[in-house]
Amino acid sequence: MSKHQMVRKAGELSLKDLRHIYEQPTELALDGSDRARIEEARKTVTDLIARGDTAYGINTGFGLMANTRIKSADVEKLQENLVLSHATGTGAPLKDGVVRLVLALKATSLAQGHSGIRPKVIDVLLKLLEAEVYPVIPAKGSVGASGDLAPLAHLSSILLGYGEISHKGETLTAVEGLKLIGLEPMALEAKEGLALLNGTQVSTALALAGLFEIENVFASAMVAGAMSVDAMKGSDVPFDARIHAVRRQQGQIDTAATYRALLDGSEIRHSHDDCEKVQDPYSLRCQPQVMGAALGVMRQAAETLLTEANAVTDNPLIFPDEGDILSGGNFHAEPVAMAADMLAIAVSEIASISERRTSLLVDPKMSGLPAFLVKDGGLNSGFMIAQVTTAALVSENKTYAHPASVDSIPTSAGQEDHVSMATFAARRLHDMAENSAAVIAIELLSAAQGVDFHRPLKSSAVLEEAHGLIRDLVDFYEEDRYFAPDIEAVRRLVAAGSLNRFVETLLPSTHLGSKVF
């Protein structure tokens, strides 16, 4: 895979940039104007030390020990001790795409000239990103309050020659990883360890990864839902623009227009223009209301996360123009936690309404199709247990959807007495997106099966093309067979975003300048 290259001014990454960084190896270079601001902030720190003044984390202890003055001779040792003592993470390593985001977000934050760090430290982070030398960062151990301390300590320890790196599937020591970029372990100077450890970059990277995965689920769910309407011989009247205009909810208006476009020209639809059925079940006719609400939440969360990705979130902060060093709490990740909770609710509902449509499709009383979507029912069980799988995954998502941001547990002997839990809030989005992709995959298989039962009638041109993608991977379910590979094949189709193009061209774009949508 060729490396994506970009040059950006610090703090001006776009949502499209962030998606590129998550999805593929990336070389990021900062704009030349950044370096002067970095140098000015660094001078503010060195001037403070030269004057013998005191500032938190520069020549004091941390947390409850903030009032402990550190001797000048021990300032560098203080930074090393900070990094090593905070590298307490546990669990499986973060995947490469997330680590790429962490490196990029940390670099763009530090380069804005409010962290007091030397340019060479930022340069090392960008070299790691460019060379695909990714610090091994355990996923668990952060409460998302004084920054993502433990995971960022694992990232930072690499600079000191401790820990492990991942390079193109191989795990190496930190020293070996640094050699790959022509460097040896370095010593951190005053303020640098604290600047590296404070910040919301890990929770933000995880939340962005969740957002990007949920975008794929959302687009596939739109296609699946439209195909289910046709397979069930449902009505397209509930998607009429006039209904949604009077509700005034933009997400609902946008999704309703998309459903109309997806179903436009369907022979199946026109085959029952004169049917006597008055209303379809909610999971068919209320799709714009549910999916539109999810889209609105996704857009709001994306805006929050884009802002946070470009933010300065360490502590204390340097303001060179005034010569001030201010201690605050930008490292508290509450905005990320709440955005992640919103995304968790949205993806849970996307999967939940999909499961209901699959349940309709397998029920002959509701669908008018063969029981469990297979001929010779009784001898064949068809999609019976596939629907059970969707029920299991949806129920699991319901538990995951409980908001993490309402939890808090005091740390650091009560000094850090309210925490965001943003890192877990964001990390669980991957599991929810994975569950939901499988739920949507099963609906796509069910809806495609239903459409096939209406042959020789065809669905719309768009849905027939999507149907073809499914049939390229999975044959019509003629009789019972080993089913799991079929589901996995279509789940991968969903997770890869292969169906996104059917929706991207229909949903209006936003000021975010990329998907969502």
Task: Say how many domains are in the chain.
Answer: 2
Residue 213, pLDDT > 60, answer yes
End residue of a domain, out of 137, 172, 199: 199
Query: With 50 as the cut, is the pLDDT of residue 1 above it?
Result: no
Q: Choosing from 22, 56, 162, 482, which is the catalytic residue?
A: 56
Is pLDDT of 513 > 60?
no
477 a catalytic residue:
no
pLDDT at 512: 61
Do 353 and 381 lie in one domain? The reply is yes
Task: Indicate whether 4 pLDDT > 90.
Answer: no
- Annotate 383-407 with b (16+ C-beta within 10 A) or e (fewer): beebbebbeebbeebeeebeebbee
Q: Do 192 and 293 lie in a common domain?
A: no
Look up the domain containing 450 and give its range: 207-408+416-504
Residue 494 lies in a domain: yes
Say what the pTM is: 0.95
Instruction: Quote the pLDDT of residue 255.
Output: 97
Among residues 177, 199, 221, the one where a domain terminates is 199
Confidence of residue 148 (pLDDT cuts 50, 70, 90): very high
Average pLDDT, the chain: 94
Do 177 and 223 belong to one domain?
no
- Both 226 and 288 in one domain: the answer is yes
- List, as own/partner pairs, every contact residues 278-284 make where C-beta atoms lie below 8 angstroms and the sequence separation is at least 24, other chains included: 279/235, 280/229, 280/232, 280/234, 280/235, 280/238, 281/356, 281/360, 281/366, 282/356, 283/353, 283/356, 283/357, 283/360, 284/225, 284/228, 284/229, 284/232, 284/234, 284/238, 284/357, 284/360
For residue 20, the domain's CATH number is 1.10.275.10
Q: Does the pLDDT value for residue 32 go beyond 90? A: no
Buried b (16+ CB within 10 A) or exposed e, 260-294: bbbbeebebbeeeeeeeeeebeebbbebbbbbbbb
Q: What confidence score (pLDDT) does residue 215 get?
A: 96
Q: Using the predicted structure, report yes or no on whether residue 42 has a pLDDT greater than 60.
A: yes
Same structural domain, 312 and 342: yes
User: 288 and 381 share a domain?
Assistant: yes
pLDDT in tens, 160-212: 999 999 999 999 999 999 999 999 999 999 999 999 999 999 999 999 999 99
C-alpha to C-alpha distance for 332 and 199, rounded to whole angstroms: 8
| Confidence bin at 309 (pLDDT 50/70/90) | very high
Question: What average pLDDT does the segment 229-256 reach?
Answer: 96
pLDDT (tens digit per residue) in 348-371:
999 999 999 999 999 999 999 999
For residues 319-334, give the mean pLDDT.
Answer: 94
Lowest mean pLDDT among 43-47, 93-97, 153-157, 385-389: 43-47
Q: Quickly state the pLDDT bin for 56 (edges 50, 70, 90).
A: confident
pLDDT in tens, 376-393: 999 999 999 999 999 999
